[in-house]
Amino acid sequence: MLKTKKVTDVYNMPVYTDSGEYFGEIDESILSGSKIFGWRVRATKKSYLNKVLGGAKGVIVPHNMVKSFGDVVIISKAAIPNSGSSEESMPASNNDSGM
């Protein structure tokens, strides 16, 4: 049975990679028309994202990188930005998608 959630129900939900690393928290959704394009994930103090980004506030994770929603959000490890990046960015694999 497919369970549905309101978009606002996932705000502040913890985000983990599929390899088990704590990534951050959902800050907001990014809509394109009537579809979810992606999720802005906030870097929290003890998150892997905070270690990688340093002073940046977070990243945008494309919706197609989300594997599941439940009590936590599971994302693909491919969504982890390069450690040299210091600003909000999308993973290199989704830039220049041709759309």
Model confidence pLDDT, tens digit, residues 30-53: 999 989 999 999 999 888 888 887
Residue 44 buriedness (CB in 10 A; 0-12 / 13-18 / 19+): middle
| 41: in domain | yes
How many domains is the chain partitioned into structurally? 1
Model confidence pLDDT, tens digit, residues 9-23: 889 999 999 999 999
| 67: in domain | yes
| 99: in domain | no
Q: What is the structure's pLDDT at 22?
A: 94
- The number of residues making up the chain comes to 99
Per the CB < 8 A criterion, the answer to whether 81 and 60 are in contact is no
pLDDT at 56 over 60: yes
CATH of the domain at 23: 2.30.30.240
Q: Which of 25, 22, 18, 29 is nearest to 43 (CA)?
A: 25
pLDDT band at residue 94 under the 50/70/90 scheme: very low
Model confidence pLDDT, tens digit, residues 70-83: 899 999 988 877 65
| 90: in domain | no
Q: Which of 59, 58, 75 is nearest to 67 (CA)?
A: 75
| 84: in domain | no
Q: What is the structure's pLDDT at 82?
A: 63
What residue numbers bound the domain in which 33 lies?
Answer: 7-78
